[in-house]
Amino acid sequence: MEKTFSSVWKNCLKIIKDNVSPQSFKTWFEPIQPIKLDDNILTIEVPSEFFYEFLEQHYITLLKKTLRHELGAGSKLEYSILMEHQTNNDKPYSVKVPSKNKSNLSNPSVSLPVNVGGSGIKNPFIIPGLQKVTIDSQLNPSYTFENFIEGDCNRLARSAGFAVANRPGGTSFNPLLIYSPTGLGKTHLVHAIGIDIKNRFPNKTVLYVTSEKFTQQFVDSVKNNSQNDFVNFYQMIDVLIIDDLQFFTGKEKTQDVFFHIFNHLHQTNKQLILTSDKPPIDLQGMEQRLLSRFKWGLSADLGVPDLETRIAILNKKIYSDGIELAPEIIEYIAYSVTTNVREMEGVLVSILAQATLNKKSITLDLAKQLIHKFVKSIDFEVTVDYIQKVVCDYFHLPVEAIKSSSRKREVVQARQIAMYFSKSLTKYSLAAIGQQCGGKDHATVLHSCRTVNNLMETDKRFRANVYELERMITFFES
């Protein structure tokens, strides 16, 4: 049977596959297309100069031996290289392998890259130079699902992340876009998804990159006339994670190149994972065609963690760091910093650092002093949750008690005091306060406030307790 270029290359691939790692085969041999077999010369088409140069430096011996096995001793291999900015009238130029003298190429004006670790961006993540075939995923190994605490605030996004990690590119969550204000765990979650995919599918190429870095690489590729290499690199990724998508807004050329990369990856069932500080509909300055594609998959938000989730996050943090801390200190931190997980962990680190440097034991008083300074700088706001916690701690009751329907005297009194301070110290409506205190109505809240006022006028001990509680609750505002 007469051999064709397709059959010869197919047989070559079978041999090559047994002699390289699955990742290397996928990255450097699957994109190659055979295009001609003439006089024992096989011509293959490669996506870029960088591709050609890399194959010559790393796989030329394997290619020559494989081709000799298929076509005999007189066989030769030529590359057809797709050129940068190629017009329809330009044909890809061909070079024989091995190229002993690169200056003799049929298109001598084109300089082939020797090192992608320098100014030219060919493969931005190979380190060092061309000596590593495996692409570094850029993932932080400490950001895992195990230390990403689940709560009502993040359950949807976390569950979607698990689904994607189990079947990257095979779910309806493609792209998966996770959005939230800063400091609530977007970056942690996408790293966790990437790490889980790497563990489950070692042969898949996973890459995390910030939008700023992606943009800078694209700008550098334009300067160095290597846009094809840039696009080709990103189109080879199996799971692409882009962090802080909002920084693409207003950058038309970056959005355009990302649009084409997005389309290619999506059409080939590769997984895209994106993060943003706002939902797609609020991304001003983003092209409509990109926004429409973001809606193809799932957009999931990360909310502000509730008290129980904040406490769990702190407990996980000190456990992983091998530190012991009194529960009341952990709870105090969780009640003090309510809107930002990163700031909450920063408070914890500050307390530990101060105690270590000053050789002091970590006490609640020390924690209060440091938190007072820190929280004042981030505009601490008294909430109903915080008031309930302080009141319950004062009377040695669980928070659940005042949210229950219990009619025990001590519980009723604590509930009334909590309602009293919630009305005087917060901007919540009477109905909202009642709802957070066990589903009571606004009339119950008004009755509780009158009861507290009456007791303060007639009971000195009760009045002293209320004054002490007020000092504790407003500690951060003083």
List, edge to edge, every strand of the sheet that includes 176-179: 206-210, 239-243, 271-276, 176-179, 298-301
CATH number at residue 391: 1.10.1750.10
Residue 246 in contact with residue 277, Cβ under 8 Å? yes
- List the beta bridge partners of residue 79: 44, 95
298-301 vs 239-243, strand pairing mode? unpaired
Range of the domain at 164: 155-301
On whether both 267 and 191 belong to a single domain, the answer is yes
Residue 207's φ and ψ, nearest 5 degrees, are: -140, 130
CATH number at residue 58: 3.30.300.180
On whether both 312 and 291 belong to a single domain, the answer is no
Instruction: Please report whether residue 132 resides in a domain.
Output: no
pLDDT at 113: 32
On whether both 266 and 341 belong to a single domain, the answer is no
Query: In terms of pLDDT, which residue wins out, 206 or 100?
Result: 206
pLDDT at 200: 92
> Residues near 138 by Cβ (< 8 Å), separated by ≥ 6?
125, 207, 208, 209
Helix, strand, or coil (residue 163): helix
Query: pLDDT tens digits, residue range 305-330?
Result: 877 888 888 888 777 766 777 788 88
Q: How many domains does the chain have?
A: 4
Whole-number average pLDDT of the chain: 79
Buried-state track 148-180, b at ≥16 Cβ within 10 A, e below 16 = bbebebbeebbebbebbbeebbebebbbbbbbb
Q: Name the DSSP letter for residue 92.
A: P
Query: pLDDT tens digits, residue range 10-55?
Result: 999 988 988 877 777 877 888 888 988 888 888 888 877 667 777 8
On whether both 368 and 245 belong to a single domain, the answer is no
On whether both 398 and 444 belong to a single domain, the answer is yes
* Residue 77 reports pLDDT greater than 70: yes
Crossing angle between the packed helical segments 384-394 and 460-473, to the nearest 10 degrees: 130
On whether both 370 and 414 belong to a single domain, the answer is no
CATH number at residue 358: 1.10.8.60
Instruction: Compute the average pLDDT of residues 349-356.
Output: 74
On whether both 98 and 227 belong to a single domain, the answer is no
Q: Full-prediction pTM beyond 0.75?
A: no
Query: pLDDT tens digits, residue range 271-313?
Result: 999 999 888 888 888 888 888 888 888 888 888 887 788 888 8
| Nearest partner of 212 among 258, 172, 181, 259, judged by Cα | 258
On whether both 97 and 18 belong to a single domain, the answer is yes
Instruction: Please report whether residue 293 resides in a domain.
Output: yes
On whether both 371 and 392 belong to a single domain, the answer is no
